[in-house]
Amino acid sequence: MRMSLLKLILSFSAKAAGMKQDLQLLSELTKVAPQGPLQGRLAQAFPGFDSAASAFNSIVKRVAPTMRAEGSGSTSDIEYNGMVQSLPQLLNNPNANALILGMMTAKADIAQQRANIISEFQNSNAPDAAATARAALRDLDNDFQMPTELKMLMDGVAPVVGAGEELALPAEDQEYLRSIGVLK
| Structure confidence by residue, pLDDT tens digits, 104-161 | 888 888 888 888 888 888 888 889 988 999 999 899 888 877 777 777 777 665 554 4
Give the residue-averaged pLDDT of 17-39: 90
Please give the pLDDT value at position 14. Answer: 76
Give the residue-averaged pLDDT of 167-174: 64
Please give the pLDDT value at position 131. Answer: 92
Per domain, the residue ranges of the chain are: 3-72+79-153
State the helix-helix crossing angle for 94-123 and 148-157, rounded to 10 degrees: 150
119: alpha, beta or left? (left if phi > 0; alpha if psi -120 to 50): alpha
Cα-based distances in Å from 169 to 2, 19, 34, 104:
52, 32, 16, 26
Could you tell me where the DSSP H helices lie in the chain? 3-29, 39-45, 51-63, 77-85, 94-123, 129-142, 148-157, 171-179
Please give the pLDDT value at position 166. Answer: 45
Residue with the bigger pLDDT between 89 and 181: it is 89
| Structure confidence by residue, pLDDT tens digits, 36-71 | 999 999 998 898 889 999 999 999 998 888 777 666
